[in-house]
Structure 1
Amino acid sequence: MAIESNHFRSYSTHPSGNVHATNMQAPDGDDDRSDTDSEITEVGEEEIPLYFTERDGRLFHSHGSSPYPLPVDTAEQDRINGQHEILRHFLLGIYVDRNAVREVLRGSPTRQRRALDLATGTGKWVLDLAAEFTHVKVYGLDIVPIATRHPPHNVFFEMQDINQTLRFHDGDIDLVHARSVSMAVRCYPDLVKEVARVLRPGGLFLACEWGRYPAMSEEVDVVTRLPCSCRFFNAVIDTLHRSHGITPVAQNLCRYISDSGRFDQIYSHRFAIPIGDWHENPVYQRLGLQYRSILELYADSMGVMMVQAGKSEAEVNELVRSYVDELYTVSGLVSHYYVVQARRV
């Protein structure tokens, strides 16, 4: 894969075991402390390969403390980018409540507005938000440098494991976005507490996760109707928990956020994203076909994860093959996408 090489900043421990520690001056004379932390350093082009490791022909992150189990190579980046585009078209944007986002990011003469994207991946969400709100400084955190090396002036990509304490000070951030981070965190309630710490009072938390189970557009017994999909997801969930300590969080987002005691105005939405061309709406038919292809990439990446966790290659190949077969032969399939919005008290 081609790794884009610079305009990244590092805060956490380097894969080699050395901590980068050098001062960075904020751009344009801005004394914003979020840009001048003494432990932020530019990542040099020669250091980029240190953040990756190759196994069985796929490229993975080399960050020893992160539980994230999937590859980070071109195929996986294509999946992440495709998923972003599906959601952007299906939700008519990159967030659900436009009024709330615009209100919390409204320009202020006394405060620099800041937004933070956790486990940003290829950075598409960051770039879209930064294009809409050019006065907002938008930070994207991840453990690998796979976002663009030529971001706009108000975008800052940084490498940090989001299981660790975030480098931002209390109340620094106006909006935190966490999409599909469940495989990158060991304890989601701990992440919620850290999000609450960095958000200002009244700040907005957008938590978004995919349901990790088979589903259909109508109420049916999925165990009977989708036996292969059920076996695949059961194997995925079991392997993630046993080998990486990762559990599904989508259906518990509201509870985790509410139980923290740090948020109110908690609103939840569940969207059913069609898989395949069964939907009567031609636009959803097109999106459903695209999404089915994305799920094939997801199945392949999950297959690699299961083999590396110790399952036999033959067993995994059959799980993946039969799951993908149901994607193509069963009408009415959907994936559930959960979105929770909450205000920091």
Structure 2
Amino acid sequence: MVATISHDRYFRDDYADDELTGDEMGVREFSDTSRCSSPTWSIYSYESSVDHQRMLREIHGRVFNNTSEYYMLPADAPEHCRLDMQHEMLKKKMNGLFLRPDAVHRALAPKQTEVPSILDVGAGSGCWALDVGKLFPHADVVGIDLAPANLKSPPPPNCRFECDDVNLGLDQYHDGFDVVNARCVSSGIADYRAFLEDVSQVLRPGGVFQSIEAEFQLYDEHFRPVTARSEDDPEFSWTQKMSLASLSAMEARGPGIRAGPQIPKWLKDMEGTWEETGEKVLWIPIGPWGEESLGERSKYVAELMRQDVIRFTSSVRPLLLTAGYFEETIDLWTERVHDELKNLRRRLYIRWICSWGIKRRKSGDVFY
């Protein structure tokens, strides 16, 4: 029998204002130029500048991976800056890096027989992998992505990055990791259920898998889906319109983008694999529209969410152009979305689906 947990006890929303450090009281400066000025490349599974050129391509003024047609968001410094911001937001919302921190710490406890290891699938800017590498200096951390990360400084000695496509399988990592993280990667995965099977083979007994995916369907202040389609409807949202157009364009490339809400069920369906599975929904407002009821940390999270979505309009522009939308249409949508969010004309939530599984231990295994 697989234990299923959906409690709220792994998250805290009641942050006290005095817990904040000085740079959290206002939104930090996430500068694109800090990434563009002098990026320092980490250790990759490629060597030459020729390989680098083959991995990247330019589409409508942005740089993309040249490996997979499924994932159609940029792989350049501005996008990695957005992902840094998103990472900061989720880290503050979750009060850390993990959905099940107790299980992760247990899985990564120092061992006599092997080095604890962590795999970050879809490492993006590398921020999650870098944070984990600093938190667990005794563990090896591997970040894989379709394109190189734009690192602002050399990574810790226990952290490396490789370019790979998980759609080709993870056989090379079989039984090699104690923690596997996969965040906002569903649009780049052709068959998420097959990916979960691969993950189960990658994890060692007692290892932890965690997934976090955002829905493109937005919700109003009462947690109801925003469904208005007419611009004359008072419930209409330009942000929702552009979000659904992006969803449609991504889905045309592959069905993975809709995997998020199904992941908890798919984990449960893997009988005999997990000794525990769980799920958690995070509701994050797009902007601090409920300021009167928000603590300082929650305001900070909401502001980061707003800035993330505003920047996302630039990220999806090439995708929408490639999908056949007119440039004038995208420009109009972008202008209206920015106005809607900057002036808080709509009270909107994004729903984040969080899932985890703890791999079944072998008979007689004991954690110390």
Q: Would you say same fold, with TM above 0.5?
A: yes
Q: 1:174 to 1:318 in 2, by over 3 A?
A: same
Structure 1, 100-109 or 313-322: larger mean CA deviation = 313-322
Which TM-score applies when normalising by structure 1? 0.84
**Shift of residue 167 of structure 1?**
4.6
Q: Runs of 5+ in structure 2 lacking a partner?
A: 1-35, 229-234, 361-368
Matched, 1:179 2:183: yes
Matched, 1:282 2:296: yes
Find the counterpart in structure 2 of residue 61 from structure 1. Answer: 65
CA distance in structure 2 between the aligned counterparts of 1:84 and 1:95, rounded to whole angstroms: 12
CA distance in structure 2 between the aligned counterparts of 1:189 and 1:246, rounded to whole angstroms: 10
Asked whether the equivalents of residues 8 and 159 of structure 1 are also in contact (C-alpha less than 8 Å), the reply is no
Asked whether the equivalents of residues 275 and 292 of structure 1 are also in contact (C-alpha less than 8 Å), the reply is yes
Counterpart mapping for 1:116-131 below 5 A: 116-131=119-134
Q: 1:57 to 1:168 in 2, by over 3 A?
A: same
Asked whether the equivalents of residues 5 and 48 of structure 1 are also in contact (C-alpha less than 8 Å), the reply is no
Asked whether the equivalents of residues 264 and 277 of structure 2 are also in contact (C-alpha less than 8 Å), the reply is yes
Find the counterpart in structure 1 of residue 118 from structure 2. Answer: 115
Q: Which runs of at least 4 in structure 1 moved beyond 4 Å after TM superposition?
A: none
Asked whether the equivalents of residues 70 and 253 of structure 2 are also in contact (C-alpha less than 8 Å), the reply is no
CA distance in structure 2 between the aligned counterparts of 1:90 and 1:112, rounded to whole angstroms: 30
Give SS of 1:329's match. coil
Which of 64, 72, 76 does residue 73 from structure 1 map onto?
Answer: 76
Which TM-score applies when normalising by structure 2? 0.79
Over the matched positions of the two proteins, sequence identity in percent amounts to 24
Matched, 1:329 2:364: no
Q: 1:164 to 1:237 in 2, by over 3 A?
A: same
Which of 215, 218, 223 does residue 222 from structure 2 map onto?
Answer: 218
Asked whether the equivalents of residues 69 and 253 of structure 2 are also in contact (C-alpha less than 8 Å), the reply is no
CA distance in structure 1 between the aligned counterparts of 2:349 and 2:89, rounded to whole angstroms: 13
Larger relative contact order, structure 1 or 2 (CA cutoff 8 Å, min sep 6) = 2
**Shift of residue 147 of structure 1?**
4.3
CA distance in structure 1 between the aligned counterparts of 2:77 and 2:174, rounded to whole angstroms: 36
CA offset digits 1:40-97 (Å, max 9, x no partner): xx5235643332112222111121x341101112221111010001111221111132
Which of 158, 168, 174 does residue 170 from structure 1 map onto?
Answer: 174
Find the counterpart in structure 1 of residue 85 from structure 2. Answer: 82
Matched, 1:291 2:295: no
Which of 311, 320, 342 does residue 325 from structure 2 map onto?
Answer: 311
Asked whether the equivalents of residues 6 and 45 of structure 1 are also in contact (C-alpha less than 8 Å), the reply is no
CA offset digits 1:153-203 (Å, max 9, x no partner): 111211101111125343221110001111221111111011011111221
CA distance in structure 2 between the aligned counterparts of 1:234 and 1:315, rounded to whole angstroms: 14
CA distance in structure 2 between the aligned counterparts of 1:276 and 1:100, rounded to whole angstroms: 32
Which of 95, 98, 102 does residue 95 from structure 1 map onto?
Answer: 98
CA distance in structure 2 between the aligned counterparts of 1:3 and 1:187, rounded to whole angstroms: 37
CA offset digits 1:102-139 (Å, max 9, x no partner): 01111111121111000101111111111111111011
Q: 1:220 to 1:254 in 2, by over 3 A?
A: closer
**Shift of residue 245 of structure 1?**
4.6
Q: For residue 274 of structure 1, what is the amino acid of its counterpart?
A: P
CA distance in structure 2 between the aligned counterparts of 1:226 and 1:43, rounded to whole angstroms: 50
Find the counterpart in structure 2 of residue 241 from structure 1. Answer: 251
CA offset digits 1:182-233 (Å, max 9, x no partner): 1221111111011011111221111111112111342446224244333222
Matched, 1:139 2:142: yes
CA distance in structure 2 between the aligned counterparts of 1:246 and 1:267, rounded to whole angstroms: 21
Instruction: Give the alignment's Cα RMSD to 1 decimal.
Output: 2.1
Q: Runs of 5+ in structure 1 lacking a partner?
A: 11-41
Asked whether the equivalents of residues 278 and 357 of structure 2 are also in contact (C-alpha less than 8 Å), the reply is yes
Asked whether the equivalents of residues 53 and 62 of structure 1 are also in contact (C-alpha less than 8 Å), the reply is yes
Structure 1, 183-192 or 161-170: larger mean CA deviation = 161-170
